[in-house]
Structure 1
Amino acid sequence: MKLILIRHGESEANFANYWTGWLDVDLTDKGSQQAREAGKRIKNSGLMIDCAFESVLKRSIKTAELVLEEAKAIFVPEVKTWRLNERHYGDLIGKNKDEMAERFGKDQIKKWRRDFNEVPPLIKKNQLDRRYKNLDPRLIPRGESLSMTSKRVLPLWQDQVIPRLKNGETVLVCGHGNSLRALIQYLEEIPENCVDEIQVPNATPILYSFDSNFTIKNKTEL
């Protein structure tokens, strides 16, 4: 059973150094090229992707599509889900990280970014589009800790990803830095006080192989 995790390629927000969260920003040209190179590495490794899961944000969607194209798997089913969205950064969304560090101090910024239970300042009201119109409003946060992000990601893993893996499919999950950190923390049973050590680089495929009990047999960066 094989699982490929990949964070989207460099986004406009990564380049400009501001918080995005659920803000929908595009890939840079570099980010698109990173995604293509990742797809080529997957193809060259001999892996054949059977399905893909993506967030509903275009930086994830475009990355997955480019990866699938280069991996010769453009035809496979794709599932877009809000559960893979980036962590909701609340009132920090759209604000420059360096400017916020000057305002609140580096220690506080580190807590907001890396602590498992630290919740950022909440946004007063979400300005969300129709992609969320069928979602129960009670599920839409105004800001999230990594712990809260994990609680919305794990049902996807348990209800949709695991059955496909059990069916012998190789599954691609294209998410964001924090939605993938939450999943990695769960899969590897990393203590909450060590989650700040989990690094998820842009457009770097991470391959997990599992045994029948979903114990990790191997983990490789492609």
Structure 2
Amino acid sequence: MNAPAQWMVLFRHGHSEWNLSDRFTGWTDIPLTEVGLAEAAAAGRRLAQAGFAFDEVHGSVLQRTRQTVGALLAAMGTPEVPLFTTWRLNERHYGALQGMDKHEIFAAWGEEASRRWWRGYVEPPPPLNHNDPRHPRFDPLYAALDPQDLPASESLRDCQRRTLPYWNEVLVPRLRAGRRLLVVSHGNTLRGLVMHLDGLSAGDTERMEIPYAVPLVYRFAPDLRVVGREWLAVPGVAPAA
């Protein structure tokens, strides 16, 4: 297939160490596994085969996205494509749930509330204490940011509200200028962006899944109306639902 003239590719990073152990990662800076690196490389080969090339990559500041970008671009044969990182594309902050697995969370807060926190659109999980060492104000990655901007917990709506300024102020102008963009981010961050692009309801977004390492291609009209979207199947990677 030939790549469309005006488009953007969204991509969730490959599997990380905590994804495979079913722990809530959020802003915790966990690396990819060898499986995740292989997934990213397979997607890069598939994108190149399909005729895609990128002018820029935009991703979060977390190493699992940066590792994904490195493996994907190397497999495409274009490691020189510039990467721009921002905390606004970070995963949703899971608050006190970060670092815990589902069994531990159910034991601490009960299954009903726990599922409402991690799948719901509006209600955030319990926040981190301001002095909790997991709080992002202690992380050197965010030393240049106003501490008031750093979340101690986020709902999916909170995550979306923090991501959309980057879409409107950075990505949209680049798309209007004809730049070919790859956005490498996280499951919840991309759910919020897809909700915005597709005009989905909160209920539809709560049920949405963004698979690991499967490119989602958006096609745009000149005014940036969405005129098409498709998942690009990658051999050896679980397909999108």
What is the TM-score with the length of structure 1 in the denominator? 0.97
- SS of match in other structure, 1:9: coil
In 2, the alpha carbon distance for the partners of 1:176 and 1:116 equals 16
Which deviates more, 182-191 or 95-104?
95-104
Q: 1:27 aligns with which of 19, 32, 46?
A: 32
The corresponding residue for 2:192 is 182
Matched, 1:61 2:61: no
- SS of match in other structure, 1:164: helix
The answer to whether the Cα contact below 8 Å between 2:160 and 2:192 also exists between their aligned partners in 1 is: yes
In 1, the alpha carbon distance for the partners of 2:76 and 2:227 equals 24
In 2, the alpha carbon distance for the partners of 1:129 and 1:99 equals 25
Per-residue deviation, 1:84: 0.6
Q: 1:92 aligns with which of 89, 93, 97?
A: 97
- SS of match in other structure, 1:41: helix
The corresponding residue for 1:206 is 216
The corresponding residue for 1:133 is 143
The corresponding residue for 1:144 is 154
The corresponding residue for 1:77 is 82
Q: 2:128 aligns with which of 109, 113, 123?
A: 123
The answer to whether the Cα contact below 8 Å between 2:73 and 2:79 also exists between their aligned partners in 1 is: yes
Per-residue deviation, 1:193: 2.1
Which deviates more, 181-190 or 67-76?
67-76
The corresponding residue for 2:50 is 45
The answer to whether the Cα contact below 8 Å between 1:114 and 1:195 also exists between their aligned partners in 2 is: no
Per-residue deviation, 1:197: 1.8
Deviations 1:32-61 (A, max 9, x none): 100100111111110111100010100011
Per-residue deviation, 1:106: 2.6
The corresponding residue for 2:174 is 164
In 2, the alpha carbon distance for the partners of 1:136 and 1:73 equals 35
In 2, the alpha carbon distance for the partners of 1:97 and 1:50 equals 39
Per-residue deviation, 1:71: 1.8
The answer to whether the Cα contact below 8 Å between 2:176 and 2:224 also exists between their aligned partners in 1 is: no
Per-residue deviation, 1:172: 0.4
- SS of match in other structure, 1:94: coil
Residue identity opposite 1:201 in structure 2: P
State percent identity of aligned pairs. Answer: 36
In 2, the alpha carbon distance for the partners of 1:167 and 1:158 equals 14
In 1, the alpha carbon distance for the partners of 2:20 and 2:66 equals 18
Extract unaligned runs of 5+ from structure 2: 1-5, 233-241
The answer to whether the Cα contact below 8 Å between 1:50 and 1:73 also exists between their aligned partners in 2 is: no
Residue identity opposite 2:83 in structure 1: E
Deviations 1:172-206 (A, max 9, x none): 00000111111111111101122112110111110
Q: Which runs of 4+ in 1 moved over 6 A?
A: none
What is the TM-score with the length of structure 2 in the denominator? 0.89
- SS of match in other structure, 1:151: helix
Residue identity opposite 1:209 in structure 2: R
Per-residue deviation, 1:98: 2.2
The corresponding residue for 1:196 is 206
